[in-house]
Amino acid sequence: MFTLTKHHGLGNDFLVCDTAQVASAPWADLARQWCDRRRGVGADGLLLLTIIDDLELSMVLHNADGSRAEMSGNGIRCLAQAAFLAQRRTDPVTYSIHTDAGLRTVAVEPVDAVTVQASVSMGAVTDLDEPHGWAAIGADPMRPVLHLSTGNPHTVVGVDDVRAVDLLTLGRQVPHINLEIIEPGPETSGITMRVHERGAGITEACGTGACVSAWAAVHWGLAHPKDGEILVHMDGGDATVRLHQPEPGHVTLVGPAVLVAHLQIAAPTPSATTTTETKTAGS
């Protein structure tokens, strides 16, 4: 039997498992089974939490398809909330969290019994080479495109209307990257973004995607920071990306994490996954 918690960051939902429960497990297989929305609990990914000491954590992320991802801006906020609750904290705290993309710091501030606001120091947005297969999708050469990283790979495309784009078809043609499409506004310091995530498909929000999209929008002149910040509107809600100066490319992601449920999950078998769920708050 495993004890998990479920959280979401702007509708991007994750299961969190404290690895202190078990020495080892087939985590990729468990991620596929537990994240299945019809035969499992359902989530965009499985986060493995290791509490190293009071203020130092480790995060490993498996996407819903079992693949391992370097980083998730929404996921790391959910993992920090899981640690915050497990330690029964009530005051703001800042964690150092080891990820496959490097060390990140996350400042957590409680809002209510099930919600925290978290600020993630994401490091620098850096350029990537054009991903394999990108040219084959036949992107409009008049559209601005940037290939960027905050520890995981992204391609950001500027469009006139994010709702007019067949994002699912495009995303499936480049499943090895995170694909963001963005349009300006509605405010001058904001953008609207939709995302097809590597290993998960279309999701309601993407934290690392919000960061690279805000950076790209400012680079292209599609948005203009207000007090150094860009507001990123996504299907699941709004996140704030703070662009730091004079540190070129350095960004901070600010947004909520919400506890959804405490879960007891039986060790899965090839035929079934049994769960007992106590819901705490809806996503």
Tens of pLDDT along 236-269?
Answer: 999 999 998 767 789 999 999 999 999 999 876 5
Burial class (CB in 10 A: 0-12, 13-18, 19+), 206: buried
Average pLDDT over residues 138-158: 90
* CA dist., res. 272 & res. 283, Å (int): 25
Mean pLDDT of the chain: 92
Q: Which residues contact 39 (CB under 8 A, 6 or more apart)?
A: 33, 272, 273
Q: Is the dihedral of CA 98, 99, 104, 106 positive or negative?
A: negative
pLDDT at 12 over 90: yes
Three-state secondary structure along the chain? CEEEEEEEECCEEEEEEEHHHCCCCCHHHHHHHHHCCCCCCCCCEEEEEEEEECCEEEEEEEECCCCEECCCHHHHHHHHHHHHHHCCCCCCEEEEEEECCEEEEEEEEECCCCEEEEEEEEEECEECCCCCCCHHHCCCCCCCEEEEECCCEEEEEECCCHHHCCHHHHHHHCCCCEEEEEEECCCCCEEEEEEEECCCEEECCCHHHHHHHHHHHHHHCCCCCECCEEEEEECCEEEEEEECCCCCCEEEEEEEEEEEEEEEECCCCCCCCCEEEEECCCC
Cβ neighbours around 262 below 10 Å, total: 15
Average pLDDT over residues 25-44: 95
pLDDT at 246: 63
pLDDT at 268: 60
pLDDT at 24: 86
Average pLDDT over residues 23-31: 92
The C-alpha angle 192, 196, 197, rounded to 5 degrees, equals: 120
168-221: pLDDT as tens digits: 999 999 999 999 999 999 999 999 999 999 988 999 999 999 999 999 999 999
pLDDT at 273: 41
41-84: pLDDT as tens digits: 999 999 999 999 999 999 999 999 999 999 999 999 999 999 99
pLDDT at 254: 98
Residue 22 CA to its chain's centroid (Å): 25
Which domains are assigned to the chain?
2-122+257-279 (3.10.310.10), 126-253 (3.10.310.10)
Task: Tell me: cis bond preceding 131? Omega within 30 of 0 counts.
Answer: no
pTM for the whole structure: 0.89
Average pLDDT over residues 153-180: 95
